[in-house]
Amino acid sequence: MDEISFDDFLKVDVRVGRVLRAEPYPEARKPAIKLWIDFGAEVGEKKTSAQITDHYSPEGLIGQHVMAVVNFPPRQIGKFMSEVLVLGFSDPQGKIVLARPDADVPVGGRLH
């Protein structure tokens, strides 16, 4: 495992957002869901695609909190421009489980 400095860690802007809209992304190489997420006034609404179809449905994600890195440059994912990286962990079968706060926190709140 490579070590990073605390200053390097502080450069990564991880925020909590609320999913406003979610749609299947059938054009993706691997099954994915397109997400539009509200990160509050400072960051605004951002979109992404996430390979989370094993544990989540688009309709079940609406209104849910998610955590994402919001300061990576946009990345083209097929025909969709991804603006943030939603965070998650692999379950024992390698399927992604979203990283989310376990209590209500304000939209746009930054990870400390």
How far is the C-alpha of 11 from the C-alpha of 28, rounded, in Å? 30
Does the residue 1 lie in any domain? no
Q: What is the pLDDT of residue 35?
A: 98
- Model-level pTM? 0.94
Does the residue 82 lie in any domain? yes
Looking at the structure of the chain, the number of domains it has is: 1
Does the residue 44 lie in any domain? yes
Each residue's pLDDT tens digit in the chain (112 positions)?
Answer: 899 999 999 999 999 999 999 999 998 889 999 999 999 999 999 999 999 999 999 999 999 999 999 999 999 988 899 999 999 999 999 999 999 999 999 999 999 8
How far is the C-alpha of 49 from the C-alpha of 26, rounded, in Å? 11
Does the residue 25 lie in any domain? yes
The range of the structural domain enclosing residue 39 comes to 6-98
Does the residue 108 lie in any domain? no
Q: What is the pLDDT of residue 1?
A: 86
Does the residue 15 lie in any domain? yes
CATH number of the CATH domain containing 39: 2.40.50.140
Does the residue 43 lie in any domain? yes
Does the residue 103 lie in any domain? no
Q: What is the pLDDT of residue 73?
A: 96
